[in-house]
């Protein structure tokens, strides 16, 4: 990656390139565990982890919440004379941040990059103008676009949904936005394109035709896919599941729900899952459960790396800090074959009262270190082979004899039932969960 780019102005003065200093360092602006070029298994850490920065949280969100005004200073908008100039300054600040941190990828919504105009045509013009500038910065720095997306949830026109809106005109407006977002994603060499359906759900069944809305969603996604493929898009389409918030119930509830939807509508060839830790928690699942489920269906794609607050029922989007969670996540990801087009996108925000410029760096450094540790633990688990060996042995009765016949579909149900009486209580064995948990704790300690 080229040295950090500084536009007309440096937005994070006093902070240089973040380097690896090792676990003994107490420099808050250095990596303790993430050592980009260190080999873990067959790949370098950076190629396993493929870190991406979420443009919206880091450069757009201002610390405001339903109870209070913005708290984050955002120096890149202070001296701007127009929203377009502010967007340009923000872009410079973002690339300064990416390159100082050493993150190779970023992700954006159309409206993060450029302000909405008075008409769809003006919005498109704004977006294309900013994308042209982003393209230059990508070229100058080597930073790449992991995925693009369209914000189909903030504008009041989407209060009843975007692709699932009961009004056809709004569905068409959503298409105008997605088309432009796809165009810039393709132009910027985006490796993926994400659909997160924040408003694709309902608040009340009393005013909703659920079947129609789901059909409209599928139609919309198929049309968008066909358009992008025709434009030469070779990347991966992602659906990002989330069970609720902002709607009471979102159609893309969790991985299983989305997998069923994709298969029912024949979208499973082009679409993969973008799995967010906090959304898994909201759906009542472990993060690793969602990853494992997607992998088991051949639909694993990418990750929105963050964490929730277990005692809150909403999407707090905090930076990951738990080795336990990242180890189990990386264990699932490595066994799924690792990332190809996907990566770890920090869909996470610093807290409202984290108001120093360094806080944004420290948050990402912590997240990257936490995933680097998780990766090393996961590789240790794989190399040692105790856990996978146990699992393999646990299912060994299906490797030969009647068990193998069962798997191959060579037994009728009544024969299976007869075998039941033949075997009696043989094979009723311990799951050894506690022993395995103790082994996992050893790996966590690096032993
Ligand atoms: C919100 C989602 C959103 C998507 C992109 O909860 O996580 O940020 O990642 O639209
Ligand atoms: Ni997300
Ligand atoms: Ni989220």
In-domain check, residue 296: yes
Residue 390 lies in a domain: no
Q: What is the pLDDT of residue 98?
A: 98
Kindly state whether residues 401 and 380 are assigned to the same domain.
no
pLDDT at 79: 80
Structure confidence at residue 8 as a pLDDT band (50, 70, 90): low
CA–CA dist 372, 366 (Å, integer) = 10
Is residue 321 in a domain?
yes
pLDDT of residue 2: 59
Residues 402 and 340 in one domain: no
- Nearest residue (by CA) to ligand 1, atom 7, is 347
Give the residue numbers spanning the domain of 126.
2-384
> Which residue minimizes the CA distance to atom 10 of ligand 1?
196
Q: Which residues contact 333 (CB under 8 A, 6 or more apart)?
A: 291, 300, 303, 339, 378
**Ligand 1 pocket, mutate which of 240, 305, 313 (most atoms under 8 A from CB):** 240
Residue 386 three-state SS: helix
Nearest residue to 186 (alpha-carbon basis) of 145, 222, 217: 145
Cis peptide upstream of residue 207 (ω within 30 degrees of 0): no
Please provide the average confidence, as pLDDT, over all residues in the chain: 96
Ligand 1 site-directed mutation target among 242, 274, 316, most atoms within 8 Å of CB: 242
Residue tagged active-site, from 48, 89, 109, 289 = 109
Does residue 253 lie in a domain region?
yes
How do residues 161-185 score in pLDDT, each as one tens digit? 999 999 999 999 999 999 999 999 9
Task: Give yes or no: residues 417 and 313 share one domain.
Answer: no
State in Å: Cα 198 to ligand 3 middle: 9
What is the residue-wise DSSP string for 253-308?
Answer: -SHHHHHHHHHHTT-TTTEEEEEEHHHHHHTT--HHHHHHHHHHTT-EEEEE--B-
Domain boundary among 335, 363, 384: 384
> 31 with 111, same domain?
yes
Q: How far apart are CA 192 and CA 340, in angstroms?
A: 11
Tell whether 340 is covered by a domain: yes
User: Which amino acids bring their CB within 6 angstroms of ligand 1?
Assistant: 109, 149, 194, 196, 240, 242, 276, 304, 315, 347
| Phi/psi-derived region of residue 424, left when phi > 0, alpha when psi is between -120 and 50, beta in every other case | left
Q: Which is nearest to 345 in space by CA: 96, 149, 51?
A: 51
> Of the ligands numbered here, which is closest to the C-alpha atom of 305?
2
Q: Are residues 172 and 89 in the same domain?
A: yes
Let me know whether 86 and 221 are in one domain: yes
Instruction: Tell me, yes or no, if 112 is annotated catalytic.
Output: yes
Contact 360, 61 (CB under 8 A): no
Whether residue 389 is contained in a domain is answered as no
Nearest CA to ligand 1 atom 8: 347
Rounded (10°) CA dihedral 65, 369, 301, 257: -50
Q: How many domains does the chain have?
A: 2
**90 domain residue, yes or no:** yes
**Centre of ligand 1 from the C-alpha of residue 196, in Å:** 6
pLDDT digits (tens, 9 = 90+) for 384-431: 999 999 999 999 999 999 999 999 999 999 999 999 999 988 889 999
Task: Take residue 229 and report the two structure tokens written for it.
Answer: 């493929």
Contact partners, residue 372, CB within 8 Å, separation at least 6: 31, 33, 34, 35, 45, 49
d(CA 399, CA 393): 10
- Annotation says 57 is catalytic: no
What's the rounded Cα separation, in Å, for the pair 74 and 359? Answer: 13
- Ligand lying nearest the CA atom of residue 278: 3
Of 384, 413, 429, the residue at which a domain comes to its end is 384
**What is the average pLDDT across 79-87?**
94
| Residues 320-352: tens digit of each pLDDT | 999 999 999 999 999 999 999 999 999 999 999
110, 112, 270, 315: the active-site residue: 112
DSSP structural state of residue 217 = H
Give the closest residue (by CA) to ligand 1 atom 2. Answer: 196
**Cα 277 to middle of ligand 3, angstroms:** 8
Closest C-alpha residue for ligand 1 atom 6: 315
């Amino acid at each position: 990656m080229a040295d950090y780019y500084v536009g007309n102005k440096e937005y994070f003065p006093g902070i240089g390139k973040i380097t690896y200093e090792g676990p003994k360092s107490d420099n808050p602006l250095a990596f303790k565990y993430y050592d980009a070029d260190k080999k873990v298994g067959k790949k370098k850490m950076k190629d396993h982890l493929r870190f991406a920065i979420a443009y919206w949280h880091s450069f757009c969100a201002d610390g405001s919440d339903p109870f209070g005004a913005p708290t984050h200073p955002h120096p890149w908008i202070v001296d701007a004379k127009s929203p377009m100039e502010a967007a340009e300054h923000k872009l410079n600040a973002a690339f300064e941040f990416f390159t100082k941190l050493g993150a190779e990828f970023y992700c954006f919504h159309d409206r993060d990059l450029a302000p909405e105009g008075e008409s769809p045509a003006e919005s498109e013009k704004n977006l294309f103008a900013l994308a042209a500038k982003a393209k230059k910065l990508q070229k100058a720095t080597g930073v790449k676009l992991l995925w693009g997306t369209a914000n189909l949830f903030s504008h009041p026109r989407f209060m009843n949904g975007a692709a699932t809106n009961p009004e056809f005109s709004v569905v068409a407006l959503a298409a105008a936005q997605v088309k432009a977002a796809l165009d810039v994603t393709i132009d910027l060499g985006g490796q993926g394109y994400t659909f997160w359906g924040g408003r694709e759900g309902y608040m009340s069944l009393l005013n909703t035709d659920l079947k129609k809305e789901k059909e409209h969603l599928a139609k919309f996604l198929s049309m968008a896919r066909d358009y992008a493929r025709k434009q030469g898009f070779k990347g991966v389409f992602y659906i990002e599941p989330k069970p609720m918030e902002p709607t009471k119930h979102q159609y893309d509830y969790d991985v299983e729900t989305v997998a069923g939807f994709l298969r029912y509508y024949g979208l499973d060839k082009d679409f993969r899952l973008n799995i967010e830790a906090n959304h898994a928690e909201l759906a009542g699942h472990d993060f690793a459960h969602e990853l494992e489920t997607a992998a088991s269906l051949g639909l694993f794609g990418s990750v929105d790396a963050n964490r929730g607050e277990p005692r809150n029922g909403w999407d707090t989007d905090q930076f990951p800090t738990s080795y336990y969670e990242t180890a189990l996540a990386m264990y699932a990801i490595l066994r799924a074959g690792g990332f190809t087009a996907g990566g770890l996108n920090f869909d996470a925000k610093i807290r409202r009262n984290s108001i120093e410029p360094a806080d944004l760096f420290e948050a990402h450094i912590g997240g990257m270190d936490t995933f680097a540790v998780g990766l090393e633990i996961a590789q240790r688990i794989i190399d040692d082979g105790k856990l996978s060996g146990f699992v393999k042995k646990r299912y060994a009765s299906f490797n030969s004899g009647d068990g193998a016949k069962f798997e191959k579909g060579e037994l009728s149900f009544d024969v299976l039932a007869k075998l039941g009486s033949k075997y009696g209580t043989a094979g009723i064995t311990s799951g050894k969960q506690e022993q395995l948990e103790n082994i996992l704790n050893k790996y966590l300690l690096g032993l």
